[in-house]
């Protein structure tokens, strides 16, 4: 297969982890007989510095012409001025909108070799394998915002339409059919009117279109507790933008580090956007100590979801598991033991491939 990737290193540790993703993709291409081409573009803070725009026109054009986009991270204290006209994060929100990426997939799977890296007891996290579907383009992050004349009263609207809810629930249910056949919908229907629409819509879609899939609804506050007490009970979890953002960051503590968790943002068609769920960690930039595994696992998601290369994706995931089984650790998961650098970890994954 001939495929084209747009690489968006971004800010902080982004360039270092994207470089390791590219090296792993080259190894996949060599092993499986593919040809991968790359186009690096600007996004986030560095794009503001060089062009004045966190999402330059050239970046959008490149992304739309690619098979998949691999993103590092955006943002940092350098661009935190509240009086600034734009912010690095606008670039990330903008590319999601430009590509109509409404579904954010975040797999949370514990690695056997790292069970003791989690702050939770081993028996609570063994065999956890959850796939979160977070609605990405609606909800409170995109609702209308108001500020009073004196600036002392502010509001943000949480808004969803039936159509937005239907499409993310369908995508989650389709995924459940290929996994363990269970969907959990998370809302706050006992308080929020928008959650009552979410619940009634999800109930209808699941009953009419997916009667073969086990379905349950859990309130978001209860779900926050269940993730820490019985996470292995869940298969596919679908929820709105705000709740999904918070719950998936909480769930990152199950495998022990944000440095282990990838994500994908997908639409109905076109290229997907793949990235680690962690931030730009500017304090680690240039130190060759960041964990590249989440970004490498994000490339596996790109191979699977955008290119349909399931064997190749599985090979990358198996390689990551193998290096962890062999005891290699970056500082974030070392728990005081020996560590390897960002580049050494990437090279180890290539060797395992």
Residues annotated as catalytic (active site), given as ranges:
141, 188, 221, 245, 249
Neighbouring-strand partners of residue 219:
187
Please state, in angstroms and rounded to a whole number, the distance separating the CA atoms of residues 100 and 122.
Answer: 39
Closest by Cα among 223, 266, 226, 242 to 105: 266
Are the CB atoms for 10 and 44 separated by under 8 Å? yes
The token pair at 57 is 């026109």
Neighbouring-strand partners of residue 68:
5, 272
Cα Rg of the chain, angstroms: 20
Closest by Cα among 192, 200, 194, 201 to 221: 192
Please state, in angstroms and rounded to a whole number, the distance separating the CA atoms of residues 283 and 308.
Answer: 36
Residue 65 DSSP label:
T
Please state, in angstroms and rounded to a whole number, the distance separating the CA atoms of residues 75 and 314.
Answer: 31
Please state, in angstroms and rounded to a whole number, the distance separating the CA atoms of residues 91 and 10.
Answer: 10
Please state, in angstroms and rounded to a whole number, the distance separating the CA atoms of residues 272 and 63.
Answer: 9
Are the CB atoms for 217 and 187 separated by under 8 Å? yes
């Amino acid at each position: 297969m001939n495929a084209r990737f747009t690489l968006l290193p971004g800010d902080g540790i982004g360039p270092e982890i994207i470089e390791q993703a590219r090296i792993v993709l080259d190894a996949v291409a060599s092993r499986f007989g593919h040809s991968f081409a790359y186009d690096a573009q600007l996004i986030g803070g560095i794009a503001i510095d060089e062009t004045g725009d966190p999402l330059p026109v050239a970046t959008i054009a490149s992304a739309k012409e690619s098979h998949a986009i691999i993103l590092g991270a955006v943002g940092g204290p350098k661009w935190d001025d509240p009086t600034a006209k734009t912010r690095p994060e606008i670039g990330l929100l903008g590319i999601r909108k430009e590509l109509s990426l409404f579904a954010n997939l975040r797999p949370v799977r514990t690695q056997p070799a790292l069970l003791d890296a989690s702050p939770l007891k081993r028996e609570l996290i063994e065999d956890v394998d959850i796939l979160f579907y977070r609605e990405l383009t609606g909800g409170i992050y995109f609702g209308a915002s108001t500020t009073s004349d004196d600036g002392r009263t502010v509001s943000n609207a949480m808004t969803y339409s039936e159509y937005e809810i239907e499409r993310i629930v369908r995508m989650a249910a389709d995924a459940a059919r290929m996994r363990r056949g269970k969907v959990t919908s998370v809302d706050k229907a006992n308080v929020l009117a928008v959650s009552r629409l979410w619940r009634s819509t999800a109930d209808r879609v699941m009953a009419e279109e997916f009667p073969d899939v086990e379905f349950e609804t859990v309130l978001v506050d209860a779900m926050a507790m269940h993730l820490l007490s019985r996470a292995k009970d869940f298969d596919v979890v679908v929820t709105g933008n705000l709740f999904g953002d918070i719950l998936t960051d909480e769930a990152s503590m199950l495998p022990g580090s944000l440095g282990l968790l990838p994500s994908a943002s997908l639409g109905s068609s076109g290229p997907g956007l793949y990235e680690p769920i962690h931030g730009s960690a500017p304090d680690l930039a240039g130190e060759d100590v960041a964990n590249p595994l989440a970004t490498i696992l994000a490339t596996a998601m790109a191979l699977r979801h955008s290119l349909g290369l399931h064997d190749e994706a599985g090979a990358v995931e198996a390689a990551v598991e193998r290096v962890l089984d062999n005891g290699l650790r970056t500082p974030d998961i070392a728990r005081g033991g020996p560590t390897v650098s960002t580049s050494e970890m990437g090279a180890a994954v290539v060797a395992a491939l």
